Chains A and B, each alone.
Chain A
Amino acid sequence: MATTITKTIKSSGGDYTSLSAWEAANQANIVTADQIHVAECYSMLDTAQCVIDGWTTDATRYIEIKTPVSERHDGKWNTAKYRIAASVTYGGVININEEFVRVDGLQIENSGSKADSARAFRLAPPSATSDIRITNCIGRATGTGTATGACAFIYQLNSCTVKAVNNIAYAFGTGFLNSYISGTLTVALYNNTFVDMVVNGIAMEGATSPT
């Protein structure tokens, strides 16, 4: 059974003061190590984009980024709880480039130009054999400009399996968008609320065989 390695992200007294530093420090082949890596995010403002890349994961040795329930938003944007906010264009505040990643209970704000594809999440795992889960998150786009369709709460590139459940997103161009898909993908969207999306709520583009 895999060993769970938990690190804390806190403004003081924790292992790291940003999700980005946690990710950079812990990149590893966690399949060989037989580990699950968990980042626990506590109430603070995290201002650095986080790119998840450089790991080897599988279905039972995965990456999990979450807030403990006590540190989690209460269903609306809450500046007293953990939130990650950055200005990113043509990408996400959280970019997921690995196959088995779970994100639970975060608040994500992108203040980059909405006309230049500002996103909360950008998913681009290298293979379709994947399981990316985004649950209980709140996202908002606060940048200037008119949002295009590619300005999305979740923007999925490449074929992969995505499950998005119980999320709320505000003011992007699209709530969920996939694009540049070349093969099979599986998308499961349950109980997501997309508010003030100026282009689409959900858009499936270029998918050859979505299920």
Chain B
Amino acid sequence: MQLTRRTATPVRTGDIIVVKPDGHIWGKEEGLPKFVVVKIPGATTEQTQKYLSPEINALALEETLTRRLWRVNIDMIPNSLLKKLRDTGTVTVTWTQIKGYIQNKATLAVEV
């Protein structure tokens, strides 16, 4: 029985790749054009770690459906914020400002 898929788990736009504490110094290639950095001062890594979890098939726990259960839905982000991300590769926001754009891929519900 082949449990795994071929195409479900590569990285997708909006996937949260890593979560680092405030003040983290990123590597030379951890920015545009491949990545953007969203800084959320005060948010803890414990609080945000769950966004690195994969989407697992609840009926077959060995089966990963997507690499990340959660994503930042860039279609929901205001144009001004999106432009700043595309221009500079980084934004600083509050948790309240960003959480409404973090979406569960399975349920489509946004973080509250």
Contact = CB atoms under 8 A, between A and B. Distances in A.
Interface of B is mostly: loop
Nearest to A89: B61
A17 B27 contact: yes
A39 B52 CA distance: 21
Interface of A is mostly: loop
A90 B62 contact: yes
Interface in B1-48: 1-4, 6, 9-11, 15, 17-20, 24-30, 34-35
B34 A158 contact: no
Interface string A75-98: 000000000000000110001010
A20 B18 contact: yes
B9 A54 contact: yes
Contacts of B2: 126, 158, 180, 182
A82 to B, nearest CB: 14
Contacts of B15: 24
A51 interface: yes
Interface residues of A, number: 31
A59 interface: no
Contact of B11 (A8, A10, A24, A124): A24
B54 interface: yes
Interface of B: 1-4, 6, 9-11, 15, 17-20, 24-30, 34-35, 52, 54, 56, 61-62, 64, 67
Given A17-B27, A18-B18, A91-B54, 17 more contacts: A15-B28, A17-B18, A17-B25, A18-B17, A21-B35, A24-B17, A24-B35, A51-B64, A53-B67, A90-B62, A91-B64, A117-B61, A126-B6, A157-B62, A180-B1, A180-B62, A182-B2
